[in-house]
Amino acid sequence: MSLRFKGPLADSYPAAVILVVFALVPYLALTAALTPLTPLIAKSLHLSKSSLELTNGMANAAYALGTVLAVQLAVHLPGRRLLVLYATLFVIGSVLAASALTPGLYIAGHVVQGLTTSLMLIAAVPPLVIGWPTSRMRWTGVTMNLCIFGAVAAGPVIGGVQAAAGGWRALFWIITGFGAVALLFSLLTFEDAPPQDRGAPWDFVALLLAATGCAAIFFGASELLGHRLLDAMVLGPMVGGAVLIAALVIYEFVIGHPLMPVRQIATTIPVVGVIIAMTAGAASVAVIEIVQTLLAARTSPGHLATLFWPQVGGAAASALLFGLVFRTRFVAVLAFAGMALVAAGAAVVSGVANGPQTLVAVGSGLLGLGVGASVSPALFMAGFSMRSAQIQRVFALVELLRGVAAFMVAPLLLHLAMTTGGSPAAGGQTAIWAALGIAAGGGIAGLGLFVLGRAPLQRPALERWEAGDEPAWDSPPVLARLRGRGGPGSQDSPAEARAAARSGRLSASSSGPSSGSG
């Protein structure tokens, strides 16, 4: 049964953009701002640093889990009503965290912030992508880039400025205000929509694997602050959690009614996109945390914040550049160039422990350019390789894997920086070079798969994609060149490949909710 209420701004594209901005920016900026604020929060709430690290880990685990949970709930419940609920819960969680006088209230509020942000991302972003004419899609891509990666780039600046002011609650109240704006616009743009497939089965196995896997990984990573990597309390949960996430992907690949379209996404272009998103996110988050930790002892939070301003400018510039190439054949080229910039940024800041602090300004600018130029294009590389109706599920899968990679690798490399080389400076340099290796390895592996898959540089056929019957471009099988299949010069023409893919999708549509509307 649908509600008759329709928001006065339901037909306004700018209002839909504002909703997405205020839904995503607060928590994503906050996660990147917490490093300089950690001592202040710990002192104010009488929380140990290890307990606060565990809180941050569980909030990040909730963010990763929320991507899967959002897809499952959208199958059975009205999506727009869920979005209003998510925004309401985000505001409640933010109030709890901002006003907390006890550790329990802060912990509960911050974990709710993480969970509801990813729920809002999966509920609000796909309608912005596919619910408007293709002429708007370029600006949607720019908006997503600025929301997700611009917010993260601004985090160190925001956190440093707030820490220099000697408090932390003001930032959390601002976050609460942003959440209230998201709630307001979820009502102003409200237009009821039915569930995707109320009769579809619940994928409880996927939810259980995602919940236990994310919780285990981030619990183990958070315990690195007070334990060695090989301690059972660290290594056991991290390895066990990684195995569970891998099992989730395999399970979704083999079952007949998958919640996330793993089998359909397992072609050259989306696989390359996933690799780029995971490695760029992991390397950049780790480098920023290491640099902040290395410099915290010898510079003020306010001064450190000024060194990260170029990262914000770089993220903004890459978002605009993404808008320029969005409808061209160079989306994949931009993604690979972004990986090179991430590696270059890591190389520059690797000397910051013993060199001038201007290296941070230069390196952070390169990192801002690189992350914005790589991860957003990678996300759309995966999304455009599927039908538009699958966009919600594709974004959920990519964000789950990207979140797990970023929030797991960063604590590992920070631990490496603090425990190797005989000094923080030497250890930090080693850890940054390891992050550089992750970025370079991801770029090289992605490029190798792209070439071996015979993936051509293609303009996305957005009109065809928006119609819902076909992907925006043709993605050859993985390693098609070695198999002698797919891509230019193969026996199958793009039209024949699309027909075969369409036939496969029609078969899949009769067997489960994976074909439901996103």
**Over the stretch 141-173, which tens digit does the pLDDT of each residue have?**
888 888 877 888 899 999 999 999 999 999 999
Same domain, 365 and 500: yes
Q: Nearest Cα to 445, choosing from 349, 343, 325, 350? A: 343
Same domain, 71 and 213: no
pLDDT at residue 94 in the model: 97
Identify whether the C-beta of residue 83 lies closer than 8 Å to the C-beta of residue 124.
yes
Mean pLDDT of the chain: 88
Q: Which of 144-148, 219-223, 322-326 has the lowest mean pLDDT?
A: 144-148
State yes or no: pLDDT of 497 exceeds 50.
no
Same domain, 185 and 309: no
Task: Tell me the C-alpha distance between 277 and 271, whole Å.
Answer: 10
Rounded to two decimals, what is the model's pTM? 0.89
Question: Region 382-408: what's the mean pLDDT?
Answer: 90
Same domain, 117 and 243: no
Structural domains in the chain (count): 3
pLDDT at residue 269 in the model: 95
Same domain, 67 and 153: yes
Same domain, 184 and 230: no
Please report whether residue 516 resides in a domain.
no
Instruction: Give the phi and the psi of residue 6 in degrees, each rounded to 5.
Output: -130, 125
Identify whether the C-beta of residue 427 lies closer than 8 Å to the C-beta of residue 420.
yes
Whose tokens are 């090289």? That residue is 444
Which band of pLDDT confidence, cut at 50, 70 and 90, is reported for residue 320?
very high
State yes or no: pLDDT of 293 exceeds 70.
yes
Please report whether residue 518 resides in a domain.
no
Residues in the chain: 518
State yes or no: pLDDT of 184 exceeds 60.
yes
Task: Tell me the C-alpha distance between 315 and 153, whole Å.
Answer: 7
pLDDT at residue 54 in the model: 92
Q: Which of 147-151, 433-437, 470-474 has the lowest mean pLDDT?
A: 147-151
Dihedral sign (CA 229, 231, 232, 234): negative
State yes or no: pLDDT of 357 exceeds 90.
no
Residues 6+ apart with CB under 8 A from 493: none
% the chain with pLDDT above 90: 65
Residue 194 DSSP symbol: -
Question: Region 338-345: what's the mean pLDDT?
Answer: 96
pLDDT at residue 480 in the model: 86
pLDDT at residue 256 in the model: 86
Please report whether residue 278 resides in a domain.
yes
**Tokens linked to 47:** 């929380």
Q: What is the CATH number of the domain that holds 304?
A: 1.20.1250.20
Which band of pLDDT confidence, cut at 50, 70 and 90, is reported for residue 512?
very low
Same domain, 127 and 195: yes
Task: Tell me the C-alpha distance between 220 and 213, whole Å.
Answer: 11
Question: Region 417-434: what's the mean pLDDT?
Answer: 88
Please report whether residue 313 resides in a domain.
yes
Which band of pLDDT confidence, cut at 50, 70 and 90, is reported for residue 296?
confident
Question: Region 49-73: what's the mean pLDDT?
Answer: 93
Of 200, 223, 238, the residue at which a domain comes to its end is 200
Of 200, 217, 237, the residue at which a domain comes to its end is 200
Q: Which of 87-91, 231-235, 352-356 has the lowest mean pLDDT?
A: 352-356
Beta partners for residue 191, in sequence order: 6
Spell out the SS3 assignment of 292-356: HHHHHCCCCHHHHHHHCHHHHHHHHHHHHHHHHHCCCCCHHHHHHHHHHHHHHHHHHHCCCCCCC
Residues 6+ apart with CB under 8 A from 79: 123, 127, 193, 195, 196
Task: Tell me the C-alpha distance between 277 and 266, whole Å.
Answer: 15
Same domain, 218 and 149: no
State yes or no: pLDDT of 346 exceeds 70.
yes
3-state helix, strand, coil split of the chain in percent (to 5) is: 75, 0, 25
Please report whether residue 150 resides in a domain.
yes
Give the burial class of 354: count Cβ atoms within 10 A of its Cβ; 0-12 exposed, 13-18 middle, 19 or more buried.
exposed
Please report whether residue 423 resides in a domain.
yes
Report the amino acid identity of residue 21: V
**Tokens linked to 478:** 């993985």
Identify whether the C-beta of residue 516 lies closer than 8 Å to the C-beta of residue 196.
yes
State yes or no: pLDDT of 21 exceeds 50.
yes
Longest dimension (CA), the chain: 68
Same domain, 123 and 149: yes
Task: Tell me the C-alpha distance between 484 and 480, whole Å.
Answer: 6
Same domain, 273 and 242: no
Task: Tell me the C-alpha distance between 50 and 222, whole Å.
Answer: 7
State yes or no: pLDDT of 495 exceeds 70.
no
Same domain, 135 and 228: no
pLDDT at residue 510 in the model: 37
Give the burial class of 247: count Cβ atoms within 10 A of its Cβ; 0-12 exposed, 13-18 middle, 19 or more buried.
middle
Q: Nearest Cα to 49, choosing from 35, 59, 39, 60? A: 39
Q: Nearest Cα to 288, choosing from 366, 177, 175? A: 366
Please report whether residue 517 resides in a domain.
no
Task: Tell me the C-alpha distance between 457 and 42, whole Å.
Answer: 50
- Cα 197 to Cα 194, 301, 310, 456: the distances in Å are 8, 50, 46, 35
Task: Tell me the C-alpha distance between 436 and 442, whole Å.
Answer: 10
Which band of pLDDT confidence, cut at 50, 70 and 90, is reported for residue 485?
low
Residue 473 DSSP symbol: S
Dihedral sign (CA 290, 409, 218, 116): positive
Of 213, 238, 256, the residue at which a domain comes to its end is 256
Identify whether the C-beta of residue 295 lies closer than 8 Å to the C-beta of residue 357.
yes
Please report whether residue 2 resides in a domain.
no
Question: Region 71-81: what's the mean pLDDT?
Answer: 92
Question: Region 60-84: what's the mean pLDDT?
Answer: 93
Same domain, 188 and 272: no
| Residue range(s) defining the domain that contains residue 490 | 262-509
Whose tokens are 């390789």? That residue is 385
Q: How far is CA 457 from the centre of its chain?
A: 25
State yes or no: pLDDT of 194 exceeds 70.
yes
pLDDT at residue 200 in the model: 85
Task: Tell me the C-alpha distance between 314 and 177, whole Å.
Answer: 27
- Cα 133 to Cα 123, 192, 218, 298, 323: the distances in Å are 19, 20, 40, 52, 16
pLDDT at residue 322 in the model: 93
Kind and range of the H or E run holding 79: helix 79-99
